[in-house]
Structures are given as C-alpha cells and as structure tokens.
C-alpha cells in the first residue's frame, strides 16, 4: 500500500475548514433570528387585532344599549372606567359616551361611543357614532 496515498488525501476530501464552519453557523444564526423576529411581529399583530375586536364589540354593545332606550331625552353623557369587553367591571377599557342634540329638537340624539384600552398592548381609541330616535331606531 502506498503511504503517500493514505496520508495525503485528495484536495476535495479534506473536510471543512474552521472558516467555512463559522460562515455556515453565521448564516444559520441570521436565518433563525429572522424567523424569531417575524414571529414576534405576528404575535404582536394578532394581539393588537384581538384588542381592536374587543373594543369594537364593547362599543357596539354600549351603542345598542343607548339606541334601545325608549326616550332619547333621557340619554346622558357617561364614562365607564375599568370595564371588560362585555361591559362588566374589572377590565382594561374606558368607555366615553357623548350624547348631543344635533337638530335642536327632541326627536333624536346623536350618540358617540369611544372605547380606549388603558395600558398594555393596543390603546388606540375606537369610536362609533349613530343618530337615534329611541326604541332601537
């Protein structure tokens, strides 16, 4: 057997150098960090979407309560602090309701409901406006 062929492998069979391994690990690390970054933005976007959905549902619930009052003259401005998405106490939302008389008469009222998340993720106010004559109209 030729000792020269045993000790001196061909150039293509020498294996990886330390530099090649470091470059491969660096590329892999950049790829993993990119995936983690994208995952963070996806989770954050989903959380913001859930907050907006809760705010909108709460605003619609409060608006319907005001619109279903039989006498629009009895509607007043109000603020609910620390309510949950169903309007019950103990949640992270503030609800501001403003009732105005746009035409000066007694037949209808303009209702504005604004829901804001207090602290945490989200916090952009959601506002609904409606004109009502009472009794759900």
**Is the residue at 30 inside a domain?**
yes
Query: pLDDT, tens digit, for every residue of 89-131?
Result: 999 999 999 998 877 666 788 899 999 998 877 668 999 999 8
| pLDDT at 38 (0 to 100) | 95
Q: What is the model's pLDDT at position 107?
A: 73
Long-range contacts, stretch 47-54, CB < 8 angstroms, 24+ apart: 47/121, 47/122, 48/121, 48/122, 51/117, 51/120, 51/121, 51/122, 51/123, 52/122, 52/124, 52/126, 54/85, 54/93
Confidence (pLDDT) at 83: 92
What pTM does this model have? Answer: 0.71
In a domain, 7, yes or no: no
Tell me, what's the pLDDT at 87? 87
Query: Is residue 126 one of the residues assigned to a domain?
Result: yes
Average pLDDT, the chain: 84
- The predicted pLDDT at position 8 comes to 53
Encode pLDDT of 38-79 as tens digits.
999 999 889 888 889 999 999 999 999 888 888 777 888 999
* 84, part of any domain: yes
Determine, yes or no, domain membership for 78: yes
Please report whether residue 42 resides in a domain.
yes
Number of domains in the chain: 1
Whether residue 6 is contained in a domain is answered as no
Q: Residue 136 — very low, low, confident or very high, per pLDDT cuts 50/70/90?
A: low
Q: Is the residue at 59 inside a domain?
A: yes
**Can you give the residue range of the structural domain that contains 76?**
15-132
């Amino acid at each position: 057997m030729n000792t020269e062929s045993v000790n001196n492998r061909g150039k293509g069979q020498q294996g990886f150098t330390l530099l090649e391994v470091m470059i491969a690990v660096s590329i892999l690390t950049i790829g993993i960090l990119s995936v983690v970054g994208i995952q963070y933005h996806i989770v954050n976007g989903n959380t913001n979407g859930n907050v907006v959905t809760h705010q909108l549902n709460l605003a619609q619930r409060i608006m319907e309560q005001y619109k279903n009052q039989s006498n629009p003259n009895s509607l007043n401005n109000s603020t609910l602090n620390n309510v949950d998405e169903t309007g019950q106490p103990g949640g992270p939302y503030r609800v501001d309701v403003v009732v105005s008389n746009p035409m000066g008469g007694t037949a209808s009222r303009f209702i504005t409901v604004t829901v804001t998340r207090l602290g945490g993720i989200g916090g952009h106010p959601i506002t609904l406006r409606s004109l009502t004559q009472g009794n759900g109209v």
